[in-house]
Amino acid sequence: MVCMHTKIPLDEDQMPKSWYNILPDLPSPLDPPLHPGTGKPLVPDDLTPIFPMELILQEMSSKRTIDIPPEVQEVLRLWRPSPLYRAHRLEKHLKTPAHIYYKYEGVSPPGSHKPNTAVPQAYYNMKAGIERIATETGAGQWGSALAFATQIFGLECTIYMVRSSYAQKPYRKSMMQVWGAECIPSPSTRTKSGSAVLQKDPETTGSLGIAISEAVEDAATHGNTNYSLGSVLNHVCLHQTVIGLECREQLASVDEYPDVVIGCVGGGSNFAGISFPFAGEKLKGTHKETEIIAVEPASCPTLTKGLFAYDYGDVAGLTPLLKMFTLGHDFVPPSIHAGGLRYHGDNPTISRLVYDGVMKAVAYHQSEVFDAAQTFARTEGIIVAPETSHAVRAAIDEALKCRKSGEKKTILFNCSGHGNFDMSAYDAFYAKQLVDYEYPEQLIRESLSRLPKIPGA
């Protein structure tokens, strides 16, 4: 037995000093993002009204490593390096010969991986002289992470929170308040886009698409204000690679290398974070056999049932067109409890790697993932976020396959956040009120066959 440790820590001074940029390791460059008006490839200046230049350059960088500014490292040290756990108790419960490891990102103050990018984003905006950041949040994880980060760098923060979650997750809103941010239920009368929606339907529950439109409008109409996105874009995924880089060191310290790497996918940031360093090795041929698995909800199966095409990032069609797997920018995913996985598209790099077969994707129903989350809580103790429970389900299923085949695989998954503010979702699970939403793929394809094509697609 190599190691019977449960926690595999990493010293603070071993925390990564730079992020890993996977773009130069791709066999060919990504299809460029297109301007929504002209259909032409974007140039950096197209994005300056809402993003600081440093982030725009990262978005398109061809450098393999990008230094983490010391001021950012100092904040990340509040919780990083995060612990890697060997799930001995879960392994025993599953009677699997597999070794299961999980990287726990729930130790950050806001409770998820989201501050890994919120902190550098706030930092670069502060450096660029920006005074306020506007953003949207669905379930509240991203909003609370950005509130935490902006407060550290002395920026103001305005968060448009989808109205239904605003009512259902009061403590997320309280956290944002403690960190000094302003949290507004969306749609609001603060913006033109919000007012327009309210006028049409005062009872609307809101949606992520509407909240994005409000935040973008807020940023575009205020000189001192920028916009910030918590997932999907390449620079967000870049910042998350600290997760996988730490895992590689931690696993090496116990003489392991993963056979399987697993993460849940909303816009793709935590999955990119844990998998890109390993995907890079796979692309370079140093570890060709690693299986990399993205897990998504059956109700919003972007990677398993979407189309690989150019599409907008938001409902209104204001954002650049990205080449990605998409269910259509006007698709409103059903209201599953894993609010952070309700997104019609995915990060373009992940999309490309899935398309090329470097990574694969699986989808699960709500009741299946909560069942796994319960098993995890009853063995390892941690009550995971509904989003994270998707990764837990896939890890358990991989371990069960090993029980059948007798293989002793090393399975690594990203435990992206705790679910301490999501207990009503668990309540619904126990009350047997979870609805297993599905995506009627065949019918949707037929219904779309008459729609006009988007430019550039």
Partner 1 sequence: MCTLGFLVNPVAGMGGAVGLKGTDGMVEAALSRGAVPRSPGRAKETISLLRSIDIHFLTCSGAMGEEILSEEGISGYEVVYRPESEQTGAPDTMAACRAFLERNADLILFCGGDGTARDIYSVVGDSLPMLGIPAGVKMYSAVFAITPGAAAGIVREGCIKGGRFLFRDAEVMDVDEEAYREGSLRTRLFGIAKSPYRPGLVQGTKQVFEDPDEERAKKDIARFIKEVMEGTPDILYILGPGSTTAAIADEIGIRKTLLGFDAVKGGTLVATDLNEEGLLSLLGGGTRARLVISIIGAQGSILGRGTQQVSPAVLQNIGRENIIVVATPHKLAVTPLVFLDSGDREFDEGFGDHISVVSGYRVAQRKRIGKAPGEGEFP
d(CA 21, CA 239): 9
Q: For residues 197 and 265, which CB has a smaller minimum distance to ligand PLP in the complex?
A: 265
Q: Given its phi and psi angles, is residue 102 left (phi above 0), alpha (psi -120 to 50 degrees) or beta?
A: beta
Site for ligand PLP in 94-123 (CB under 6 A): 112
Find the part of the chain contacting ligand PLP (CB under 6 A) among 3-11, 126-134, 210-218, 262-270.
262-270
Q: How many residues at the interface with ligand PLP, by CB under 6 A?
A: 20
Structure tokens at 80: 């990083």
Find the part of the chain contacting ligand PLP (CB under 6 A) among 261-269, 288-296, 317-325, 432-440.
261-269
d(CA 435, CA 183): 29
d(CA 443, CA 446): 5
Find the part of the chain contacting ligand PLP (CB under 6 A) among 60-68, 136-144, 247-255, 367-375.
136-144
b/e string for 323-332 if b means 16 or more Cβ within 10 A?
A: bbbbbbbebe
Query: Whole-number minimum distance, CB 418 to ligand PLP, in Å?
Result: 8
Q: For residues 100 and 362, which CB has a smaller minimum distance to partner 1 in the complex?
A: 362
Instruction: Give strand pairing partners of 321.
Output: 34, 312
Instruction: Give φ, ψ of 219 to 5 degrees.
Output: -65, -40
Print the binding letters for residues 194-213 with partner 1: x by CB under 8 A, - otherwise.
-----------x--------
From 96, 108, 141, 241, residue interacting with ligand PLP (rule: CB under 6 A)? 141
Print the binding letters for residues 336-375 with ligand PLP: x by CB under 6 A, - otherwise.
----xx----------------------------------
Q: Does 457 participate in binding partner 1 (rule CB under 8 A)?
A: no
Site for ligand PLP in 221-260 (CB under 6 A): 231
Print the binding letters for residues 307-346 with partner 1: x by CB under 8 A, - otherwise.
------------------------xx-xxxx---------
Structure tokens at 232: 């999907």
Find the part of the chain contacting partner 1 (CB under 8 A) among 87-95, 313-321, 395-403, 436-444.
436-444
From 80, 235, 248, 365, residue interacting with partner 1 (rule: CB under 8 A)? 365
Q: Does 333 participate in binding ligand PLP (rule CB under 6 A)?
A: no
From 144, 191, 269, 349, residue interacting with ligand PLP (rule: CB under 6 A)? 269
Query: Whole-number minimum distance, CB 330 to partner 1, in Å?
Result: 9
CA 50 to chain centre: 21
Q: Could you tell me which residues come within 8 angstroms of residue 299 by beta carbon, excluding any fewer than 6 positions away?
A: 333, 334, 336, 365, 366, 436, 437, 438, 439
Q: Given its phi and psi angles, is residue 381 left (phi above 0), alpha (psi -120 to 50 degrees) or beta?
A: left
Q: For residues 154 and 334, which CB has a smaller minimum distance to partner 1 in the complex?
A: 334
Q: Tokens 């605003």 map to which residue?
A: 166
Indicate which of partner 1, ligand PLP, none lies near residue 388 (CB less than 5 to 8 Å, by partner kind): ligand PLP
Give the burial class of 234: count Cβ atoms within 10 A of its Cβ; 0-12 exposed, 13-18 middle, 19 or more buried: buried
Indicate which of partner 1, ligand PLP, none lies near residue 265 (CB less than 5 to 8 Å, by partner kind): ligand PLP
- Beta-strand pair 260-264/291-297: parallel
Q: Does 2 participate in binding partner 1 (rule CB under 8 A)?
A: no
Pick from 65, 69, 2, 84: which is nearest to 277 by CA? 65
Pick from 103, 91, 227, 98: which is nearest to 158 by CA? 227
Q: Does 438 participate in binding partner 1 (rule CB under 8 A)?
A: yes
Pick from 357, 231, 344, 338: which is nearest to 294 by CA? 357
Q: Contact at 8 Å (CB) between 180 and 157?
A: yes
Indicate which of partner 1, ligand PLP, none lies near residue 314 (CB less than 5 to 8 Å, by partner kind): none
Instruction: Give strand pairing partners of 104.
Output: 415
Indicate which of ligand PLP, partner 1, none lies near residue 435 (CB less than 5 to 8 Å, by partner kind): partner 1
- Using the 8-state DSSP alphabet, how is residue 451 labeled? S
From 85, 104, 123, 142, residue interacting with ligand PLP (rule: CB under 6 A)? 142
Q: Does 420 participate in binding partner 1 (rule CB under 8 A)?
A: no
Q: Contact at 8 Å (CB) between 110 and 175?
A: yes
Which residue ranges make up the site for ligand PLP (CB under 6 A)?
A: 112, 139, 141-142, 231, 264-271, 340-341, 385, 387-388, 416-417
Which residue ranges make up the site for partner 1 (CB under 8 A)?
A: 164, 167-169, 205, 298-299, 331-332, 334-337, 365, 424-425, 427-428, 431-433, 435-440, 443-450
